[in-house]
Structure 1
Amino acid sequence: MIPIYICEDNIKLLKKYEEYVSDYLCFHDFSMRIACVTPDPKTLLAAVQNADEPGIYFLDIMLSASVNGIEAAEQIRKYDPDGWIIFITSYPEMSSMVFQYRVEALDFILKDAPQSLKRRVFQCLETVQKRYEKSRTISPKLYCCKSGAHKLRLPYEDILYFESVSGSHKLLIHTTAGNYEIYASLNDVEKELDKRFFRSHKSYLVNTDYAIEFNRAGGYILMRNQERCLLSVRKIRKLEHSLMNDNV
């Protein structure tokens, strides 16, 4: 679901924008949800730091705070380079600043025409939904997570295997580009991924596309990078059945 963030220091307008978005989503089957509605850009930025998906941002430019809308957008881009930013303002001359800050806004909407504003908000939601649907059909599947302060978007095809770290609630993701440590459980990760990933052992979740040998006697799976992942005896038959079905 695409999270939607709204930041406007005029409380009356803030509620109106939230109402526009909420009403529109009620009548359209869009993959979106309202994640944060606030007059405070600092609250907005705190929420963005904890998000795992690209978001939609409706921002007032002239916020009565230490951070204005364009500066907030600049900070957002550090956490969400792929999100969609829409500015709402009473000052059309501020549009040039958007280009100066290189924040790549989807739209620049003027407050002075309420009916036009409402229509433009709807159009922005429609545009994002179309782009989102197109990206899901063209782009490779991604596993999204956080590693420390960094957000990761790892293509399934680059992941070798997941390994639980003994004595902790951490996982180690082994990829073709290197390893990443995250806080997660193998059970939860397994539910997110597709059938190419097989739970070979309580501590391993393996991308079978990278497996080159299933050693029953040794109790391991040999990966393309020559690393070994444990294979429990009770999982062998299930693995063989899974691979047989894939080859039908």
Structure 2
Amino acid sequence: MTGLLQTFIVEDDPEQLATLKQIVTNHIMINDFDMALTLATGTAQNLVDHISTQPDVEGLYFLDIEYPGQALNGLELASKIRELDVNAKIVFVSTHAEMAFLTFERRIEPLDFIVKDLGQAAVKAKVEKDIRIAYERYNKQGVASKAMFSYSKGGQLFNLPLAEVLFIETGTSRNKLLLHLVDRIVQYNGKISDETVAHPELFRVHKSFLVNPQMLVRVNKQQQLGYFANGETIDIAIRKMHDLLALIKQSQLPVKLN
């Protein structure tokens, strides 16, 4: 899968935060996983502020249940993460084993709930196992999500490799879309807002354009234009340029910037 699986830790105890950071960074390094510890903080709001600025963040999150004196507790933080990162892999590391059932009540769908009282060795083993599971699922998820693109025309469903898709453009007629492929253009019925939700691997760069970032070859920041290998271009809204550039950097895409 293109890009890193980002890892985040929110633990208000400085000693336990340092321990978790060491476990995570060591396990990533030893196994040479395509991962990074992006943020380790003692404040829940710091994490919300960070991922709110990331357009397509996908992460592994280690959280506590309680953050005394803070505006957000662990369950509230996890709910916000789930809103911002639909594929989030959330692991609770807490002394409050009795709170585990609330994660199901809140529909948080955690990957794991690790009880700190198990002891340092057991916690370390469980954290390392969760890292491996999250990394495996992330890669499988990437293969599945980026493999194919689907659209419907004339009551028939069409599937094609995502690598053939350049961008989707609103047509001149209401509820008509133009699908720009590497070698042709297809018109079909639809709304670009619906396609944005249906195809999260594409990025909305303008009210009229939904682009496949993998197929961009150049972005001109001054002229607010994106270029493709076949010579086609798209307009990029000023307010979307920053997010697009962040996505290109985060995903390590070979896009020329000028």
TM-score, structure 2 as length reference: 0.61
Cα distance change on mapping 1:44 and 1:80 into 2, 3 Å: same
8 Å contact 2:8–2:59 — kept in the other structure? yes
Partner of 1:128: 134
Distance in 1 (CA, whole Å) between partners of 2:15 and 2:148 is 39
**Pairwise CA RMSD of aligned residues?**
3.3
Partner of 1:208: none
Distance in 1 (CA, whole Å) between partners of 2:228 and 2:144 is 25
Partner of 1:33: 36
Aligned positions of 1:56-75 closer than 5 A:
56-64=60-68, 65-75=70-80
8 Å contact 1:21–1:122 — kept in the other structure? yes
Instruction: Give the counterpart letter for 2:102 in structure 1.
Output: M
Post-superposition shift, 1:203?
Answer: 2.2
Gaps of 5+ in 1: 144-154, 164-172, 206-248
Aligned partner of 1:49 among 52, 55, 74: 52
Post-superposition shift, 1:46?
Answer: 1.1
Partner of 1:80: 85
Partner of 2:216: 190
Cα distance change on mapping 1:40 and 1:9 into 2, 3 Å: same
Aligned partner of 1:109 among 95, 98, 114: 114
Post-superposition shift, 1:131?
Answer: 1.4
Match status 1:118 vs 2:124: yes
- Report the secondary structure of 1:71's partner residue: helix
Instruction: Give the counterpart letter for 1:200 in structure 2.
Output: N
8 Å contact 2:5–2:35 — kept in the other structure? yes
* Higher relative contact order structure (alpha carbons within 8 Å, sequence separation ≥ 6): 2
Partner of 1:200: 230
Instruction: Give the counterpart letter for 1:5 in structure 2.
Output: F
Distance in 1 (CA, whole Å) between partners of 2:178 and 2:130 is 38
The runs of 4+ residues in structure 1 deviating greater than 6 Å are 183-188
Q: Which has the larger radius of gyration?
A: 1
Distance in 1 (CA, whole Å) between partners of 2:205 and 2:13 is 39
- Report the secondary structure of 1:9's partner residue: coil
Aligned-pair identity in percent equals: 26
Gaps of 5+ in 2: 150-160, 170-176, 180-187, 197-203, 219-226, 236-258
Partner of 2:7: 4
Instruction: Give the counterpart letter for 2:167 in structure 1.
Output: Y
- Report the secondary structure of 1:93's partner residue: helix
Render the CA deviation track for 1:30-49: whole Å, top value 9, x for unaligned: 12111111111111011111
Post-superposition shift, 1:190?
Answer: 1.6
